[in-house]
Amino acid sequence: MSKDVHLSYLPAAGGKRLLCIRIEAPERLNTLRQETTAAIGDAVRRADQDESVVFIWIEGGGKKAFCAGGDVRMLSGNYRKGEKESVLHFFTTEYSTDYAIHMAKTPILCFAHGIVMGGGMGILAGCRHKVLTPDVVLAMPEVSIGLFPDVGATWFLNRMPRGCGRLLGLCGYRMDAADACFLGFGDRVVQQEDRDALFESLAALDWTGNPERDAQAVDAVLAHFELPLEPGFLAEKPECLRKLALAPDPVSFGEILLEAGKREPRLMEASKTFGSASPFSICLTWRQLGSGRHLSLKQAFCLELILAARCLEHPDFHEGVRALLVDKDGAPVWKDSRPEKVDPSEVRHCFTPPWSSLHPLKDLPEPALISGWS
Angle at 37 between CA 184 and CA 360, to 5 degrees: 95
For residues 114 and 123, give the distance between their C-alpha atoms in angstroms, rounded to a whole number: 15
pLDDT at 1: 64
The domain ranges of the chain are: 5-349
pLDDT at 2: 81
Is 24 within 8 Å of 5 (Cβ atoms)? yes
Task: Look up the pTM and report it.
Answer: 0.95
- At the topology level, CATH places domain 5-349 in 2-enoyl-CoA Hydratase; Chain A, domain 1 (3.90.226)
Out of 101-110, 336-345, 357-366, least confident range: 357-366
Whether 374 has a pLDDT exceeding 70, the answer reads no
Is 58 within 8 Å of 127 (Cβ atoms)? yes
Report which residue type is found at 199.
F
Which stretches of the chain are assigned E, i.e. beta strand? Answer: 5-11, 17-23, 53-60, 65-67, 108-112, 115-117, 129-132, 137-139, 188-189
pLDDT at 163: 95
- What band does 79 get if pLDDT is binned at 50, 70 and 90? very high
How would you classify the pairing of strands 137-139 and 115-117? parallel
Which of 160, 62, 57, 31 lies closest to 109 in space, CA to CA?
A: 57
pLDDT in tens, 311-359: 999 999 999 999 999 999 999 999 999 999 999 999 999 999 999 888 9
pLDDT in tens, 145-194: 999 999 999 999 999 998 999 999 999 999 999 999 999 999 999 999 99
Whether 75 has a pLDDT exceeding 50, the answer reads yes
Name the percent of the chain lying above pLDDT 70: 98
Burial of 356 (0-12, 13-18, 19+ CB in 10 A): exposed
How would you classify the pairing of strands 17-23 and 5-11? antiparallel
